[in-house]
Chain A
Amino acid sequence: MSNAIADAVDAVTAAVQVGNEDDVERALASLEGLDARLLVAELFLQVSELAERIDVDTLRDRTSISIPARTADIVDAVRRRDLAAVQEAVSSDYGDVLVALLSIIAAMDDVANGRLGSS
């Protein structure tokens, strides 16, 4: 169960890095029906882990992936485990929170692994 979420999130972020629509769609489909709270938890874990390796300023300078305007606030809120603050920074609902966190993970993973524009 949990591994399915981690694997699916990896697949989504890899697809976002490549920018292939079909891969993004296929990877997202594997998330359907999974526990919405566990998905948020996995995204928080991945953002927290990647934030240990790369700061937001460096990310902004080097990423080829579009990240939210308030990425620094979002990362800070994730570190505090504060979902309400993440939503406030995204200014929208659950779907947009997922978009924001997945984009940040894809961008951070891309930059942290030194493989910019890997398509």
Chain B
Amino acid sequence: MAMSQLQKIAQGLRKVGVGAGRAADRVESSGRDLAKLRSRVSDRRLSAAVRSAGLSSRLASVESLLDQAVAQSRSTAQALAQVDEGSARWVGQLVAAGAKDDRVSPAQQRQMEKWAQRSGAEADAREKQQLEMVDAIFSPYASAAAALATAAFPPLLPLTSGFALLGTSKGMASLLLSGRDFLRARGRSRNDERVAVHGMDHAGADVLAGLAENAFQAFTGVDMTGAVGVSADVLHRVRAGLLRGRRTKPTAD
């Protein structure tokens, strides 16, 4: 089997497994909600009211249905969790099979082993880490933009507008970085920066912050809002850069 096929199958299997693991969590959570609902239905006062209304048999059938739903949600969650575990095992077997194939390199085996080991919970934890990292990397710029707009508005508006009109986004980005350093030096928290908006022209500050963000994007190529994805053009250049950088001979023994 070609390596690319093996990779595709392994990746696909783990996606199914991780998806099943997440679904198992959701089903388990729904099961707990159903169990709570079931206990409410059995509430003494409700039962008494239902009996007095002559609807006891209806209540019994609702209770029975809820019991079935709770039991089914448990078994469904268990089955989904088994799919998650099973897919990791299958990928492990694929990796073992791949190891016997001389077209599969150790690096590719290692990559598939990583996929096999990544559970749904680990994927969620990684997502959390990524979001925290996004905040750590990008919030200083957003804060600096807002703070600069706050602190410098209105005197800076004509200046920054001029930068934007002239297209000297690098200058604007430098201003942003200065603003960030200034704020760090003053030891202000992000919350303080937001509070500092008080008394300023909010609309004007927004315009300035928007200009600053655009300038940041023009300078860095990264959209601060996350609205723009990685483009094919950028990836084309990345491919060329990565392949250009690949040495033909190892420098280590």
A residues engaging B (CB < 8 A)? 1-3, 5-7, 10-14, 16-19, 21-26, 28-29, 31-42, 44-45, 61-67, 81, 83-84, 87, 93-99, 102-103, 109-111, 113, 115-119
Most chain A CB within 10 A, of B3, B246, B247, is at B246
Contact between A66 and B235 (Cβ–Cβ < 8 Å)? no
Given contacts A12-B242, A36-B221, 12 further A-B contacts (CB under 8 A): A14-B107, A14-B110, A14-B111, A17-B105, A23-B4, A37-B224, A38-B226, A45-B130, A81-B136, A84-B173, A93-B221, A99-B238
- Provide the residues of chain A in CB contact with B131, threshold 8 Å: 2, 38, 41
Size category of the binding interface on chain B: 35 or more
Are B130 and A2 in touch, CB under 8 angstroms? yes
Q: Which residue of B lies closest to A84 (CB)?
A: B177
The answer, among A44, A62, A113, for a CB contact under 8 Å with B252, is: A62
- Interface residues of B, Cβ cutoff 8 Å to A: 3-4, 7, 11, 14-15, 18, 105-108, 110-111, 114-115, 118, 123, 126-127, 129-131, 133-134, 136-138, 173, 177, 220-224, 226, 228-232, 234-235, 237-239, 241-243, 245-247, 249-253
A17 touches B107 (CB 8 A): yes
Partner of A95, one of B105, B226, B237: B237
Are B223 and A37 in contact, CB atoms less than 8 angstroms apart? Answer: yes
Report yes or no: B11 in contact with A7, Cβ–Cβ below 8 A: yes
Contact B137 A36 (CB under 8 A): no
29 CB-based A-B contacts, threshold 8 Å: A3-B18, A3-B118, A5-B130, A6-B123, A10-B114, A11-B7, A13-B107, A14-B105, A14-B110, A32-B230, A32-B231, A37-B137, A37-B222, A38-B131, A40-B222, A45-B126, A65-B245, A66-B245, A81-B137, A84-B177, A87-B220, A95-B234, A95-B241, A96-B237, A97-B221, A99-B238, A102-B238, A109-B107, A118-B107
Residues of B within 8 A of A63 (CB): 251-252
Write the nearest CB–CB distance from A33 to chain B, whole angstroms: 4
